[in-house]
C-alpha cells in the first residue's frame, strides 16, 4: 500500500533482505507538476501496489539514484516500459540491458520535472548517491546518505546498524567515512544540499524525518564539513 508523505509525495515500504537480516526500505513516488509520476529507488512491488501507483498518474520516470539502489529497476521498467530511466553514472554493468540516461551532477533533469532538483554527493564514487529536493512540498529525498532506523525484525540487523552508528538515531552509516575519497568535494555537496529549503527528509531506510529535519541532517553530516575525521585515510 502507498503511504502519503506530503502533497504529491507518497511511499511504499518493504523490508529488504540482506545477509544479516531484513533492513526496512522505502521507495518514493513523486507526482510532477504536470501530473507525471517519478518512481524513486523502486522496491519489489505487487500488482496492488502497481495499480495504486498507476492511479496517481502515468509513470514517466524511474530513478536509480545511486550505484547501490538499482536492484528492482529492471522489474519497474518491465511494468512501465514507456517511462524514462535515469541512473547514477557507473551503473552500466549492473543495469545491463536497461538503457538509462545519467543523472546530472546538479540542477534538474527534464524527465524529472521542474520541481525536482538533483545533487550528486561527490567524493564518494563507490556509492555515487544523488539526492533530490521536491521543492513544492519542501521534501528532501535520500537513499543511504542518512538512516533513521528505530525498529527491525532481526537481532543481526540491529547489530549491523549499531556497528555502523546508525541504530535508533538520525545518522550516517560509518561506511561513508571509509569510502569517502575526496572529503572537500563531499563537503561542498552536503553544503549545497543543506542550503536547500526543506522541512522533512524521506530516507530509504527508517522513519521519515519531520520537524527539525534540517538540524538533524546537519548534525548527522557534520563530519563531512570538518567535524570528525574519516575512519580510513583516502588513497
Q: pLDDT of 28-55, one tens digit each?
A: 999 999 999 999 999 999 999 999 999 9
Can you tell me the distance from the alpha carbon of 127 to that of 15, in angstroms, rounded to the nearest whole number? 21
| Cβ neighbourhood burial of 110 (10 Å; 0-12, 13-18, 19+) | exposed
Q: According to the model, what pLDDT value does residue 234 have?
A: 41
Supply the pLDDT for residue 175: 95
Identify whether the C-beta of residue 193 lies closer than 8 Å to the C-beta of residue 172: no
- Measured CA to CA, the distance from residue 227 to residue 64 in angstroms comes to 30
pLDDT of amino acid 145: 97
What pLDDT, on a 0 to 100 scale, did the predictor assign at position 226? Answer: 64
User: Residues in the chain with pLDDT < 70?
Assistant: 226-235
Condensed to tens digits (0 to 9), the pLDDT of residues 128-143 reads 999 999 999 999 999 9
DSSP letter assigned to residue 112 = G
pLDDT for the residue 216: 96
Q: Cα–Cα distance between 39 and 153 in angstroms, integer?
A: 26
The CB density around residue 35, as the number of other CB atoms within 10 Å, is: 12
Q: Between the CA atoms of 155, 162, 130 and 4, what dihedral angle is there, to the nearest 10 degrees?
A: 60
| 11 in Cβ contact with 2 (< 8 Å) | yes
Amino acid at each position: 500500500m502507498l503511504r502519503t508523505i506530503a502533497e504529491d509525495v507518497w511511499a511504499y515500504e518493504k523490508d529488504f533482505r540482506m545477509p544479516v537480516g531484513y533492513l526496512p526500505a522505502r521507495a518514493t513516488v513523486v507526482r510532477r507538476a504536470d501530473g507525471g509520476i517519478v518512481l524513486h529507488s523502486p522496491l519489489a512491488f505487487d500488482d496492488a501496489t502497481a495499480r495504486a501507483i498507476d492511479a496517481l498518474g502515468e509513470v514517466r520516470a524511474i530513478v536509480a539514484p545511486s550505484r547501490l539502489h538499482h536492484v528492482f529497476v529492471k522489474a519497474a521498467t518491465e511494468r512501465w516500459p514507456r517511462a524514462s530511466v535515469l541512473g547514477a553514472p557507473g551503473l552500466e554493468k549492473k543495469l545491463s540491458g536497461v538503457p538509462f540516461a545519467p543523472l546530472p551532477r546538479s540542477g534538474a533533469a527534464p524527465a524529472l520535472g521542474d520541481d525536482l532538483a538533483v545533487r550528486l554527493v561527490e567524493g564518494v564514487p563507490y556509492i555515487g548517491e544523488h539526492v533530490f529536493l521536491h521543492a513544492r512540498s519542501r521534501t528532501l529525498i535520500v537513499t543511504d546518505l542518512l538512516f533513521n532506523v528505530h525498529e527491525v525484525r532481526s537481532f543481526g540487523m540491529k547489530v549491523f546498524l549499531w556497528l555502523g552508528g546508525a541504530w535508533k538515531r538520525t545518522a550516517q552509516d560509518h561506511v561513508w567515512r571509509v569510502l569517502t575519497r575526496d572529503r572537500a568535494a563531499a563537503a561542498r555537496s552536503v553544503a549545497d544540499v543543506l542550503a536547500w529549503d526543506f522541512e522533512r527528509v524521506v530516507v530509504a531506510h527508517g522513519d521519515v524525518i519531520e520537524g527539525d529535519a534540517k538540524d538533524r541532517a546537519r548534525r548527522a553530516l557534520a563530519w563531512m564539513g570538518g567535524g570528525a575525521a574519516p575512519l580510513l585515510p583516502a588513497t
